[in-house]
A and B are shown apart, each in its own frame.
Chain A
Amino acid sequence: MNAADSSKDLTVRADGGQQPARFENPGVPEHRERLADADPAAAKRAERQVAALFALSTVGTIGFLLAYFLAPPGQSVASIRTSNLLLGLGLTFGLLGIGLGAVHWAKTLMSDHERIEERHPQRSSAADRAGAIAVLKEGAADSGVGVGRRGLLKGALIGAVALLPLSIAVPLIGNIGGDWNTNKFRHTVWRAGRRLARDPSGTAIKASDVTIGSVFHVIPDGLESEAHPLDEKAKAVVLLIRLDPRDLNETPEKKSWSYDGIVAYSKICTHVGCPVALYEQQTHHLLCPCHQSTFDVANGAKVIFGPARRPLPQLPITVDSEGYLVAQSDFHEPIGPSYWERLK
């Protein structure tokens, strides 16, 4: 920092008097000749180079066609990569030859004398402006608007034009949201007694299959027979985890929601809805790979890091008479991201 930076330290310039206040623009520099301007041999050489570049383009295009007919992609990823590479290189040279040739031509052979064009202020001339105002006034007078007594006419026209778009907007808005029944956010297909099944095979899970520390990706049994399986899956996916019951801290009201250390939580993040898929066995933490919200499974899946606010909703589970894991009910709150009327 020196004194010159400080806005308070202002020294007044001593002025000689006879010097002009500013330097003068020295004007466009003299043209400098290129090699090809002075030496006809260099010009000839440049011409040949340009022609060679255009020829390179032709070679590239022929190469592309050869690759298209002679190296078709096969069954494997490797074969489509080869085909892609050969076609792409052919196209590259086909384009590059033309591009470099044209630019080389412009830079070596076309005139490079700088030219000056005058600019004029952007605004139109005073006469044009006056003329524009005059014709507009004339038009306004012809139309009879602005006379004052046509207020009714103006009002009626504006009203009609303003209303007309409704004929497009109303049906568009009416239909674009489907049935507009946003209550569907509140429910999933989980019901009392519905079995928990493996994702994606759909086989039901027995409590005895779930060893301590293991994780199951779960869908409702019989999901495929729902009317819209993908929409239902998007809400109903669950993570099933078995902890040592001694590690599990449960609130009294949710004590009965787990079965012998097995807990089931919605897999849909309460932040913006990514699947919360990464489980850390040692710490009992669930991590959402999209935005790193971290949930503690041992403590009611409460948020311990990241942008999510609420714990993952818990699915109350138990076992049926055959030992299969089943839901006790639907989730007790809407799953997934927050929305305005979530608690209403």
Chain B
Amino acid sequence: MSLTQRLSGGTADYLDQRTGIGAAVKNFARKIFPDHWSFLLGEVALYSFVVLLISGVFLTMFFVPSMNETVYQGSFATMHGVTMSEAFKSTLDLSFEVRGGLLMRQIHHWAAVLFMAAIVTHMFRVFFTGAFRKPREINWVVGSVLLTLGLLAGFSGYSLPDDVLSGNGLRIADGVARSIPIIGSYASYLLFGGQFPGHALIPRLFTVHVLLIPGLILALVGLHLLLVVLHKHTQYPGPGRTDRNVVGFPLFPVYVAKAGGFFFIVFAVIALLAATFTINPIWSFGPYDPSPVAAGAQPDWYMLFLEGGLRLTPGWTEFVLGGFTWSFNILIPGVIVPGVLFTTLAIYPFIESWVTGDKREHHVLDRPRNAPVRTGIGVALLVSFLVLALAGSNDIIATNFHLSINDITMFFRLFIFLGPILGFWITKRLCLGLQRRDRELVLHGHETGRILRFADGEYVEVHKVLSEDERWLRVQHESRRPLQIAPETDSRGVVRRGYRKDRFRQRVSQFFYQDRIEPITPAELAAAHPDASQDVHGAMRGAGNTQVGADVPMIEPEVPMIEPAERRP
């Protein structure tokens, strides 16, 4: 036995005698995880968060969270003699005096930008593949809370340097707080410890940013990962993949190396961004002063949708009623729109399971095309987010493309309603089209480009039959069908209770699943070319001129009925 073997054996024995960790290692070390690039999105978010913690600790060693005024005398000559807060001065010092400080600042900010981007893309991966379905609904909610916490972490963080740009952002936050009915002005005082800007805000934001929010994020990330381990990871459909297994590679050594290595790659990309792209150059903005403002000012990208909402909502939505001011021009974009957007996202799994009446566990992911309405809803949400974000950059668009800012704003005011509807409709049609394409491929195989001429003069193209694995991917899913409900009246013509509720649920269910394409069944495939088993080349006479789509069966639903007896009290 070598020395290292003896040493590691000794350590393992020592630990196990005191913790019983052996059982956990036995169960966990060779746990199987499936492989797919889209599963890395969540990892990017996790690793960006680790980078945020590392760079954040570095920054706290030098940042002074104070609004006390001081006169700058540091090494950045341009600002000599300028009065500024200690927060701003220490941020300047972090950039100019602390060697490597600017790199850490830029790493921290780029990591935050990437953190939010990874959360949002990860969330949409989960959404579009239906990974939020039972048993993962709770984990989806945990993720939604993490998204909100990420927004707060970002906003509280980039406000800390007390520069003109972030100061105006805080002033906007003050305006939004004041618009809240009844308690608005008190909400503003609560935030700032008195009048804006006061002296309390930066120290308060600091505590929120370095203790409260990261603590919550850390706890919820722990819960998020624990649930992933409990549930075992979802997997994409494919040969051998079922709802009762997980196919992939063991944690040790494959994912220790891959995921561990990926952490360093994510960190490296953030470091490269920080090395080559300037972010938040506060020395060119200057310290906060309530008077100046820069044209073309933008928040970080994940706050743009709020900014866009504020720019779009017309002024006439503010009115006076009963002597009190109702500022819907701020309440709608500042409170109602984000509230509706985030609530819809967070509760979506519950809506969908109510609509389908499906109480089974799902571990094989949906291909987005096989859930056209869900995919459409996801795109609609994305489009509204995108339109609002673009509206938040309307001045940049106007100056870069020489367009009238008023025209752009009017267009977005219209498109915030039209865009999501269009996005939904186009996506749904695309999904149905892709499903038809799958049917065609399964029925008729790949085009080979080989043309045969028959003795009677007819030309046909040879089609190559799909391999079993290729076909399985396109036929494995279940086509969901609208719910059926018990009739309105019983045999004696008495209207039953709860019929209206059931009727509503059925209507929603019809919206989701009325338009659908069934996957090819073995019988259909056999009917399409009875000689397929003998014909190696899969040459099919007349197959080319059949319009696929016209023969797609739409089936009268034979679906689970909600009987009155089945309904919960």
Contacts and interface: CB of A to CB of B under 8 A. Distances in A.
B70 interface: no
A99 B283 CA distance: 34
A277 interface: yes
Contacts of B103: 84, 87-88, 91
Interface string B316-351: 111110011101011000000000000000000000
B253 interface: yes
B506 interface: no
Given A106-B261, A336-B175, A291 B272 contact: no
A200 B292 CA distance: 10
Contacts of A4: 436, 517, 549-550, 552, 554
A200 B246 CA distance: 67
Given A22-B521, A27-B240, A100-B261, A292 B405 contact: yes
A139 interface: no
A91 B555 contact: no
Contact of A278 (B75, B135, B295, B553): B295
A233 B32 contact: no
B409 interface: yes
Given A118-B245, A237-B290, A179 B194 contact: yes
Nearest to B275: A88
Contacts, number: 358
B456 interface: no
Interface stretch (A69-77, A144-152, A207-215): A69-77
A165 interface: no
Nearest to B34: A114
Contacts of A96: 264-265, 268
Contact of A117 (B31, B515, B549): B31
Contact of B329 (A14, A91, A268, A271): A271
Interface string A101-119: 1110111001110111111
B194 A177 contact: yes
| Most chain B beta-carbon contacts within 10 A, residue among A2, A77, A85, A179 | A77
Interface stretch (B5-13, B148-156, B215-223, B470-478): B470-478
A305 B176 contact: no
B475 A115 contact: no
B496 interface: no
Contacts of A339: 178-179, 184-185, 188, 325, 327
Given A3-B550, A22-B475, A117 B246 contact: yes
B247 interface: yes
A111 B253 CA distance: 9
Given A12-B555, A122-B361, A290-B172, A182 B100 contact: no
Interface string A13-29: 11110011111011111
| Chain A contact patch, size range | 35 or more
Contact of A307 (B95, B311, B553): B311
A115 B176 contact: no
| Most chain A beta-carbon contacts within 10 A, residue among B185, B254, B517, B550 | B185
Contact of A99 (B178, B264, B294, B395): B264
A307 B314 contact: yes
B511 to A, nearest CB: 10
Contacts of B176: 272
A322 interface: no
Contacts of A20: 522
B244 A119 contact: yes
Given A271-B329, A337-B174, A99 B263 contact: yes
A253 interface: no
Contacts of B31: 117
B283 to A, nearest CB: 7
Contacts of A180: 186, 189
B432 A289 contact: no
A184 interface: yes
Contact of B521 (A19, A305, A338): A19
A275 B179 contact: no
Contacts of A342: 325
A309 B316 contact: yes
B318 A309 contact: yes
A271 B323 contact: no
A98 interface: yes
B175 A337 contact: yes
Nearest to A293: B315
A74 B250 CA distance: 51
| Most chain A beta-carbon contacts within 10 A, residue among B176, B266, B554 | B554
Nearest to B32: A117
B278 to A, nearest CB: 8
B526 A28 contact: no
A110 B361 contact: no
A34 to B, nearest CB: 13
A337 B329 CA distance: 11
B271 A88 contact: yes
Nearest to B75: A75
A100 to B, nearest CB: 7
A264 B517 CA distance: 67
A102 B476 CA distance: 35
B493 interface: no
A163 interface: no
B51 to A, nearest CB: 10
B200 interface: yes
Interface in A304-344: 305-310, 336-344
B553 A274 contact: no
A23 B247 contact: no
B553 A13 contact: yes
A31 B96 CA distance: 56
B296 interface: yes
A167 interface: no
Contacts of A169: none
6 contacts: A23-B521, A26-B239, A27-B239, A73-B99, A337-B174, A340-B185
Given A12-B556, A234-B290, 6 more contacts: A99-B266, A111-B254, A274-B168, A277-B292, A307-B312, A309-B329
Interface of B: 31-32, 75-77, 95-96, 99-100, 102-103, 106, 135, 168, 171-172, 174-176, 178-186, 188-190, 193-198, 200, 230-232, 239-250, 253-254, 257-258, 260-268, 271-272, 274-276, 278, 283, 289-297, 307, 310-320, 323-325, 327, 329-330, 361, 363, 394-395, 405-406, 409, 432, 436, 468-469, 471-472, 475-476, 510, 514-515, 517, 521-524, 526-527, 549-550, 552-556
Of all A-B residue pairs in the complex, the 4 with the closest CB atoms, nearest first, are A88-B275, A272-B175, A102-B261, A28-B240
Interface of A: 2-5, 7, 9-16, 19-23, 25-29, 68, 72-75, 77, 80-81, 83-85, 87-89, 91-93, 95-96, 98-103, 105-107, 110-112, 114-119, 121-122, 173, 176-180, 182, 184-185, 199-200, 217, 219, 228, 230-231, 233-235, 237, 267-268, 271-275, 277-278, 289-293, 303, 305-310, 336-344
